[in-house]
């Protein structure tokens, strides 16, 4: 059993993973802008009643709210797992493709998370990113998907790239400045490396970045299957198009529960 903090768990990958963790006996604390999102969710409400799920109102864009949810989650013991799955609801713009507001939502929420980690905490951190962000990753995409990533998802991917830049800096991972450059200041914020509380360069360990392929709302193919339902690699994977959010949740649950040493401190691509 684990004590889990979930940022971005009101829906999609964060939600599906949290349900799996709760079903396995973990305690899960959610940071939610509106806890009423689960008002009619019978599954979550049962865990709330049994004091296994805790719904904390707050906005991950506010550092004080993130600091508060760390304190709330720590009431149940040391936080063992942090699941960061923040992603905005995009709106379509004819010239810009998918647009999220603010455009640096993911990066700034992640900065708030890691700048407020208690000094004594060493949780497993899972950060959900995306395939196709870097030049190398984009080059590995199937030809038919390249226009989708190059136009429709440009804005959200700049934000995810900002998050990965922060992780690479704090974890001491290589960053291909020549090909990928540095994310804009409007994504990173001014003097982001000097933010109070930011882990020193190379000091942040025990993290896994998950780079799913194009996400779908399909069923979890891994449940009940005797064969691998999806492909995983810490290198780029060619020839794959999609992955369901529920299968990503299946992988995250398996990784943090059973196979952490296989994936820790790596970027993991997942695709059918």
pLDDT (tens digit per residue) in 143-180: 888 877 877 778 889 999 999 999 999 999 999 999 89
Contact (CB, 8 A) for 75 and 99: no
Integer Cα distance of 87 and 84 in angstroms: 9
pLDDT (tens digit per residue) in 91-134: 777 767 777 889 999 999 999 999 999 988 899 999 999 998 88
Q: List the alpha helices (DSSP H) in the chain.
A: 12-23, 42-49, 63-74, 105-114, 135-139, 146-147, 154-171, 177-180, 185-188, 245-258, 260-263
Q: What is the mean pLDDT of the chain?
A: 94
Q: How many alpha carbons lie under 13 Å from residue 194 in its C-beta half-sphere?
A: 3
Return the pLDDT at 100: 81
Pick the CATH number of 3-271 from 3.50.50.60, 3.40.50.720, 3.40.430.10, 3.30.450.20: 3.40.50.720
Contacts of 206 by beta carbon, 8 Å cutoff, 6+ apart: 122, 123, 124, 125, 264, 265
Question: Would the pLDDT of 53 be above 70?
Answer: yes
Q: What is the pTM of this model?
A: 0.94
Q: Which residues are registered as beta bridge partners of 32?
A: 57
Q: Which position has the higher pLDDT, 207 or 136?
A: 207
Contact (CB, 8 A) for 266 and 259: no
What are phi and psi for residue 260, nearest 5 degrees? -60, -40
Which structure tokens are listed for 125?
Answer: 């951190």
Return the pLDDT at 135: 85
pLDDT (tens digit per residue) in 208-267: 999 999 999 999 999 988 899 999 999 989 888 999 999 999 999 999 999 999 999 999
Torsion of CA 12, 15, 244, 136, to 10 degrees: 70
For every residue of 181-225, DSSP letters joined together read ----HHHH-TTGGG-TTPPPTT---SEEEEEESEEE----SSTT-
Integer Cα distance of 96 and 110 in angstroms: 24
Return the pLDDT at 96: 76
Extents of the domains making up the chain: 3-271
Whose tokens are 């995983």? That residue is: 232
What are phi and psi for residue 96, nearest 5 degrees? -105, -10
Return the pLDDT at 95: 67
The H-or-E segment that residue 147 falls in is helix 146-147
């Amino acid at each position: 059993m684990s004590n889990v903090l979930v940022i971005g768990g009101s829906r999609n990958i964060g939600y599906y993973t949290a349900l799996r963790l709760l079903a396995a006996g973990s305690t899960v604390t959610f940071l939610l802008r509106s806890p009423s999102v689960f008002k009619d969710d019978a599954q979550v409400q049962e865990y709330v009643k049994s004091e296994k799920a805790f719904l904390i109102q707050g906005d991950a864009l506010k550092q004080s709210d993130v600091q508060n949810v760390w304190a709330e989650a720590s009431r149940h013991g040391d936080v063992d797992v942090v699941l960061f799955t923040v992603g905005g609801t995009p709106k379509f713009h004819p010239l810009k493709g998918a647009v999220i507001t603010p455009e640096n939502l993911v990066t700034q929420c992640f900065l708030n998370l890691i700048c407020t980690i208690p000094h004594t905490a060493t949780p497993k951190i899972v950060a959900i990113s995306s395939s196709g962000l870097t030049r190398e990753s984009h080059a590995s995409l199937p030809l038919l998907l390249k226009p989708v990533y190059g136009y429709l998802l440009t804005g959200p991917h700049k934000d995810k790239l900002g998050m990965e830049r922060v992780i690479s800096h704090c974890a001491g991972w290589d960053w291909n400045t020549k090909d990928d450059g540095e994310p804009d200041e409007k994504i990173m914020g001014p003097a982001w490396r000097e933010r109070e509380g930011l882990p020193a360069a190379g000091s942040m360990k025990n993290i896994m970045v998950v780079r799913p392929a194009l996400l779908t709302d399909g069923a979890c193919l891994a449940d009940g299957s005797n064969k691998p339902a999806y492909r995983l690699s810490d290198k780029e994977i060619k020839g794959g198009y999609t992955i369901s959010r529920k299968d990503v949740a299946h992988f995250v649950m398996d990784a943090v529960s059973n196979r952490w040493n296989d994936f820790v401190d790596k970027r993991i691509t997942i695709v059918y």
